[in-house]
Structure 1
Amino acid sequence: MATLTPARKFIAGLALAVSTSVAIAATPSPFTATYQVLQGGQVIGEAVVSLKATGSGQWEYSNQTRGTSGLAAALGANSNETTRFRWNNNAPETVAYDSRVNAFKVKQRHTEVNWSTNQVSVDEGKGADTYAATSGLVDRNTTPYAIGLALRGGKQTVTLPVAVRRNVENQQFKVAGSDDVQVPAGRFKAQRVERSDSDKAFNAWYVPQKYPVPVKLSQSEGGNLTLQLVSYRQL
């Protein structure tokens, strides 16, 4: 297997790791959150996550990342993920998801959910794969967002149907402890959430009664990246 370069690890990790949450309510509240992206303790990038209403009961959740130092900055490495979702039972339910990653080459993914036929279509440029949708379906962009909402609702374990390349994957998460966390946005007593159905290291720290947005997120897949909340602004 080929070894990923630091720039490729940076982009892969950003695409997999970055996402946030919004305070739970009858409907979502628009916001903007900014994160530092670190690797090996060094800041190498920035991620900006935002939520806004698009009308007709739908919302747009976007995550834009860019390299700000080192090789990632020199290459102009960046990624953009955008999800359009509807609000169903106080939780997001994906309608469409688009991802564009730009490093040495451009990689794209388009996911469309037809809720009238309950079919998911995923296309990465080589023809679409289709499979049956599941109620409450989310995508990789909105997964940590959905976790945060569930924590705000008092849950300690969360199972989410996530649309991946060729099927729906039921991903499981649990509150594994409580930690003191220091990030640029402040010092918090946070709930540490781990993925329990996979050996892929995933840790996200939430303060759900303040705002269910991860104040810190760390995972080994994609280059051992850590994200730290810098600011959160409700619009």
Structure 2
Amino acid sequence: MPLTLIIGNKNYSSWSMRAALVLELTEEPYTEVRIPLYQQTSRARLLSHSPTGKVPVLLTEEGPVWDSLAIAEYLAETCGDRHLWPRGEYARAVARSLCAEMHSGFAALRSHLPMDLRRRPRPLALPLPATVQEDIGRICALWADCRQRFGADGPFLFGHAGIADAFYAPVAARLRSYAVSLPEPAAAYVETIYRWPAFQRWYQAALQETETIE
């Protein structure tokens, strides 16, 4: 049984994007099933695949794996030769720390700057709250520190594209969609994400969607 990834709207579902980008890194064949969110049939359709009724969920021969971080860890274990986590014990620990912080933090940024890939880049009408500015500052510091310490072999956070980049790609998209002013290192990393072929494939597909979620 080939892998099947259940996702939501590509324009809006940041967690779906994370899982899909990690799966792309494995270069394993898989089937993608897109279920538009917040429609009358969405919940029932999701529950037919996912025990939580949420996306993403990865269907494997042994059963479903849900939650983007669990999916990433599963793929890292089953596709170990792809080095989805960086080489070196400490680098891997830092990469996992970044993903865990992304997974559980930055609530203000998520709330005020929801992912909307089709949005024409422009600032919000009102100034960003201090809590959002704090989240952005923390993210920019994380990116700069990782690229300086671990990114000598390439433009990604740990040199080559990996799980950490998949987890922060939706943040890069948010920062561009809302035309957030960034220091040069962070702006360069956003550009790296937009030049990533796997991200571009997702982005171009998102631009073709027609559903709108308020």
Higher RCO (CA < 8 A, seq sep 6+): 2
TM-score normalized with structure 2 length? 0.30
The answer to which structure has the higher strand fraction is: 1
TM-score normalized with structure 1 length? 0.28
